[in-house]
Amino acid sequence: MSVISHAVGTPLDRLDGPDKVKGAAVYAAEHPVDRPAYLYPLQATIAVGRVIALDTAAAGAEPDVLAVLTHRNAPRLASAHDAELAVLQSDEVAYRGQIIGGVIAETPETARHAAHLVRVTYAERAHDVALRPDRDDLYKPLNAAFFCRGGGELMDGSPADSAVGDVDAALAAAEVRLDATYTTPINHHNPMEPHTAVALWSDDELTVYCSTQGVTLSRDLLATVFGLDPRRVRVVCPHVGGAFGSKVYCHSYAVLAAMAAQIVHRPVKFALTRRQMFSLVGYRPATVQRIRLGADPGGRLTAIAHDVVVQTAKAKGYAEQVAVCTRCMYAAPHRRTTHRLAPLDLPVPTIMRAPGQAQGMFALESAMDEMAIACGLDPVEFRIRNEPGVDPETGRPFSSRHLVDCLRDGARRFGWDRRGPVSRARREGAWLVGTGVSASTHPSPRFAGNTTTIRAGPDGRHTVLIAAADLGTGTWTALTQIAADALGVTVDEVELRIGDTALPPASPAGGSAGIDSWGTSVVETAGRLRALIDSHHGGVVPPQGLEVTSDMPDNPDAAHYAMHSFGAQFAEVRVHADTGEVRVPRLLGVFDAGRVINPKTARSQLLGGMTMGLSMALHEQGVVDPRFGHVVNGDLAEYHIASHADVGSVEAYWVEAEDPHTNPMGSKGIGEVGIVGTAAAIANAVHHATGIRVRDLPITLDKLLRQPVVEE
Amino acid sequence: MEITLRVDGQERRLVVDTRTSLLDALRERLGITSPKKGCDHGQCGACTVLLGGRRALSCLALAVAYEDAEIVTAAGLAEGGDLHPMQRSFIDHDALQCGYCTPGQIVSAVGMLAEAEAGWPSAVSADPDADEVVLDDAEIAERMSGNLCRCGAYVNIRPAIAEVARR
Ligand code: FES
Ligand code: FES
């Protein structure tokens, strides 16, 4: 069925706005609980080895300390299958910063002080944290789908390798060739709200107020670990203070908080410090990517190869889908992608906004710029010339693909035609000025596991229940709009409830699938409710009200179409000729994201993605010290994220184009596509400004100064 | 120790540790969670409150030192339930996403406008001795850079502030 639009498509103000501007929206740490105790963790100070002795006497003797938890006295978990969640189940240390215990006390100050009194002795083993493509222990991922819970070879379920035709022969025969290696560092999500769990038990039932992108998934993981019926676990999270992937999978801290609450028989609050987040909540893994392109003299690609080495953790073989973007982007008869994992003694990586796509498209879109130059073509024209008619590796049609429109419309809005082809040609005072372009893409799937209940009252009011999440994505507002249209009522007549496992289950907010999945579930249920009112109640809600619950239907089109969002991003940069300082006065993106549910919140999502892309391009790098095996710049003063003064003008537009196949709303994902390609657009603009090609993120000034500067 | 804090016009008695930050006193002892904890190190601005009318990072302040100070949080800016013009403007411009940095941004913006009104220059002011500060986008960006927003709402936050500044 399709939805008649009244609310969908209107730029409704955020419904949670009034609470948030006052600071009244309740985040995980802020749920009032009775007499909470506070936990401060003990973290390993070696990279690999065993804990052989623990002296907790001084800590335990501090007044107001309630318990010191270590692997010696921790409750045995029902399942230690998942290495990431098997907290305190052995004396083994797999990475520096791993949780090896915790102190629980009456106040946060006491817990923290006492934690520093615990003396730990280790038997240390040699560690290895160096990501090199020539390591002899690289391996092809296996069963890594969905956080290594089985299925496909990569996190997103797709195969590690793909091949069409004969790439090597095509490359050898190509008249224009490119062979370049691009590298991206560790990135950390750093949502402003630190990860927090407040856990309490009553009669063998566990409640956790937890900062999570998916209460249902967190509940299921906790239930498995503690051996509980999922109905005896409740996870609550109405508001998330940013997440970006770091709050999808439940991490060790939530398990530790629940264990602690079990031991002290009281609610326990565990809010991570910013520094602890650098080792305990995952991160975007570093990559080394070799791209080879071959083209004919007319600028048509004949071969594309994208070979990836991406790091993972020895503790758990998380496998990111870095080259998967290359499988759908450009036409070429001969093509290959591969992924190999480098197992390091580092914490377990996780998904971070556009996992794989963000790094993969930096490499591919930088290479496309280099190749356009090699072919003597404008980079926009070069991309258009290689636009595929169907998904190049599967042969399936795209459910919708308006990348060329995005490139053309973006070029027009940006003033791309004013750009000269020669690099290092424009100088304003001390600043070298350049512009660059990149394409963007992200899959637009729908996730299973969604159920909605809708209660209609005789007064025309409807309550819509689904355990969805709002991470700042605008779910409270957009899902209400979808429900209003599907029910044929106004937004004011809909009361949405999300973020609680007491509600019907929902898939997590991730993979750009949130609104598309939950919205489909809401539309389906609303349709059934309206049909029931018509068929059995003469078109009128009975006085006692009516309730309908329904699962989300499968999408029969999913097997027949390739479903992706697309976009084109344009950047203007200024590079200081003497200092190498890079500024980005202007970013402009045009996106193909299907039907836009709420233009106001959607634009914010895209702007936010582009801003994070700018940050990725210029600032962000988790620096690992090979001697100790930890990220040394573990705070917001040393791990730079873009601030107000780093961000100039950012504009986001979209082509008006409903997708006929993705879902009943006609929408596609918008949460991640905004960050994809931004770094390449900026790197390409830096090249245009300076003549220097930076293939290694972030683009810091040392990389621009190290190059010999030839005044032209 | 037992102290009295004046928060959003109300006097509250509470017991704190000498190590307790003003932020933890508000959040953990008094349940006043409008100021947020983002870093606890003075690096993000989420905990910004007005102390005697000036913006301050409550994570870097020790509670025991603020016995007599007038503390205002974002919740206190909304007088009698009516949103402050800055809060209204943030909603109009969609200058927030997750909302976690938002109370700090708003309090900081209100404090910043008072600083500009008083003629305080910033690092990007062309003439540090000028009597009047013209709050263009660069001035607002510079003066607000102590407030990080990981959702990347900056390009909506600055117009929201500029609109209030123009009034
Ligand atoms: S919490 Fe105070 S500045 Fe970050
Ligand atoms: S709105 Fe999320 S950090 Fe600013």
**Is there a cis peptide before residue A698, judged by omega within 30 degrees of 0?**
yes
Residue A152 to residue A666: CA distance in whole angstroms: 28
Output the residue whose Cα is nearest ligand 1's atom 3: B42
B39's tokens:
């870093």
Q: Which has more pLDDT, A65 or A705?
A: A65
Report the distance separating Cα A259 and Cα A31, nearest Å: 19
Summarize pLDDT for A285-312 with one digit per residue, the tens.
Answer: 999 999 999 999 999 999 999 999 999 9
Q: Where are the domains of chain A?
A: 17-27+448-554, 31-127+192-242+247-280, 143-187+284-444+560-705
Q: Spelled out in words, what is the top-level CATH class assigned to the domain A17-27+448-554? A: alpha beta
Which residues in chain A touch residue B73, judged by CB atoms under 8 angstroms apart?
A: 23
Whether A330 shows a pLDDT value over 60: the answer reads yes
List the Cα angle A627/A630/A635 in 5-degree steps. Answer: 130
CATH architecture designation of domain A31-127+192-242+247-280: 2-Layer Sandwich (3.30)
pLDDT number for residue A230: 97
The encoded tokens of residue A407 equal 């490139």
Angle at A482 between CA A481 and CA A483, to 5 degrees: 90
User: At how many degrees (to 10) do helices A357-375 and A678-690 cross?
Assistant: 40
Residues 6+ apart with CB under 8 A from A20: A14, A239, B96, B99, B102, B103
Chain A residues touching B139 at Cβ < 8 A: none
Phi, psi values for residue A294, rounded to 5°: -125, 145
Largest Cα–Cα distance of chain A, in whole Å?
A: 82
Q: What is the pLDDT of residues A23-56, one digit of tens each?
A: 999 999 999 999 999 999 999 999 999 999 999 9
Say if the Cβ atoms of A473 and B97 lie within 8 Å.
yes
CA distance readout (Å), B30 to A195, A459, B6, B12, B47: 21, 40, 11, 8, 15
Q: How far apart are CA B17 and CA A38, in angstroms?
A: 14
> Residues of A numbered 566-625 whose beta carbons fall under 8 angstroms of chain B's beta carbons: which are they?
600-601, 603-605, 607-612, 615
Name the stretches of chain B with pLDDT < 50: none
Distances (CA, A) of A304 to A30, A162, A323: 51, 11, 11
Which residues, at least 6 apart from A88, have a Cβ–Cβ distance to it below 8 Å?
A69, A70, A71, A74, A99, A100, A101, A256, A259
Mutate to test the pocket of ligand 2, among B91, B94, B96, B147 (most ligand atoms within 8 A of CB): B96
Burial of B54 by CB count in 10 Å (0-12 exposed, 13-18 middle, 19+ buried)? exposed
Tell me, what's the pLDDT at B80? 80
Q: Let me know if A658 is a catalytic residue.
A: no
Cα separation, A306 vs A332, in Å, equals: 13
Q: CA–CA separation, A269 vs A317, rounded Å?
A: 30
Partner residue opposite B41 with nearest CB, options A26, A471, A635 = A635
Does this chain's domain A17-27+448-554 share its CATH topology with A143-187+284-444+560-705?
yes
Where do the domains of chain B lie? 2-76, 85-166
pLDDT of residue B51: 97
Instruction: Compute the residue count for chain A.
Output: 712
Min Cα separation B126/chain A (Å): 16
> What stretches of chain B adopt beta strand conformation (E)?
2-7, 10-15, 48-51, 54-57, 70-72
- A632-649: b or e for each residue (b if 16 or more CB lie within 10 Å)? ebbbbeebbbbbbbbbbe
Residue of A113, A244, A274 with shortest CB distance to B41: A274
What pLDDT sits at residue A706?
Answer: 66
Judged on CB neighbours under 10 Å (0-12, 13-18, 19+), B131 is exposed
User: Which residue in B43, B87, B145 is closest to A637 by CB distance?
Assistant: B43
pLDDT of residue B81: 79
Residue A430 CB partners (closer than 8 Å, separation 6+): A576, A577, A578
pLDDT tens, position by position, B62-74: 999 999 899 999 9
Beta bridge partners of A206: A201, A233
Asked if A90 reaches chain B (Cβ–Cβ under 8 Å), the answer is: no
A660 pLDDT tier (thresholds 50, 70, 90): very high
How does residue A9 score in pLDDT terms, banded at 50, 70 and 90?
very high
| pLDDT above 90: residue A708 | no
Neighbours of A139 (CB within 10 A): 14
Distance from CA of A243 to the nearest CA of B (A): 9
CA of A275 to the centre of ligand 2 (A): 19
Residue A507 at interface with chain B, using a CB cutoff of 8 Å = no
Contact A369, A363 (CB under 8 A): no
Shortest distance between the Cα of B68 and any Cα of chain A, in A, equals 23
10 Å CB burial of residue A631 (0-12, 13-18, 19+) is buried
Q: CA A322 to CA A306: how far, in whole Å?
A: 9
Percent of chain A at pLDDT > 70 equals 98
CA A679 to chain centre: 16
B161 contacts on A by Cβ (under 8 Å): none
* Dist CA B3 CA A554 (whole Å): 60
**Average pLDDT in the A188-208 region?**
97
**What is the topology classification, in CATH, of domain A143-187+284-444+560-705?**
Aldehyde Oxidoreductase; domain 4 (3.30.365)
CB contact under 8 A, B142 and A191: no
Task: Please determine, looking at this structure, whether the domain spanning B85-166 carries the CATH number 1.10.150.120.
Answer: yes
DSSP string, B72-102: E-HHHHSGGGPPPHHHHHHHHTT--SS-SSH
For chain A, helix, strand, coil in percent to 5 are 30, 25, 45
- Average pLDDT rounded to a whole number, residues A372-379: 97
Closest alpha carbon to A433 in A687, A149, A610:
A687
Share of chain A above pLDDT 90, in %: 97
Split at pLDDT 50, 70, 90, the class of A709 is low
Contact status of B44 with chain A (Cβ, < 8 Å): yes
Per-residue pLDDT reduced to its tens digit, A456-513:
999 999 999 999 999 999 999 999 999 999 999 999 999 999 999 999 999 999 999 9
CA distance A668 to A328: 16
Which chain B residue has the Cα nearest residue A600? B94
Q: How far is residue B143's CA from residue B117's CA, in Å, rounded to a whole number? A: 13
Q: How far is A452 from chain B (nearest CA, A)?
A: 24
Distance CA A353, CA A244 (A): 5
Q: How far is CA A365 from the centre of its chain?
A: 20
Which of A486, A484, A478 has the alpha carbon at shortest distance from A509?
A: A478
pTM given for the model = 0.97
pLDDT at residue A2 greater than cutoff 80 = no
Confidence band of A712 (pLDDT split at 50, 70, 90): very low
- Report the separation in Å between the CA atom of A599 and the middle of ligand 2, taken as the mean of its atom positions: 18
Q: Which fold has domain B2-76?
A: Ubiquitin-like (UB roll) (3.10.20)
CB count, 10 Å around CB of A440? 35
Give the B window 83-112 contacts with A, CB below 8 Å: 83, 87, 90-92, 94, 96-103, 106
Rg (chain B; Cα; Å): 16
**B78 vs B84: CA distance, rounded Å:** 5
Q: Which amino acid is at A381?
A: E
Give dist(CA A157, CA A362) in Å, integer.
Answer: 22
Q: What is the pLDDT of residue B68?
A: 83
pLDDT, tens digit (0-9, with 9 covering 90-100), for A574-607: 999 999 999 999 999 999 999 999 999 999 999 9
A contact test, residue of B1, B20, B94 with most A CBs within 10 A: B94
The per-residue pLDDT of chain A, averaged, comes to 96
**A219 neighbors A508 (Cβ within 8 angstroms):** no
Q: Tokens for B27, please give them.
A: 């959040």
In angstroms, the CA A89 to CA A87 distance is 6
- Residue A401 — pLDDT band, cuts 50, 70, 90? very high
Cβ-Cβ contacts under 8 Å, A239 against chain B: 98-99
Cβ of B33 within 8 Å of Cβ of A609? The answer is no
- B64 CB near a chain A CB, below 8 Å? no
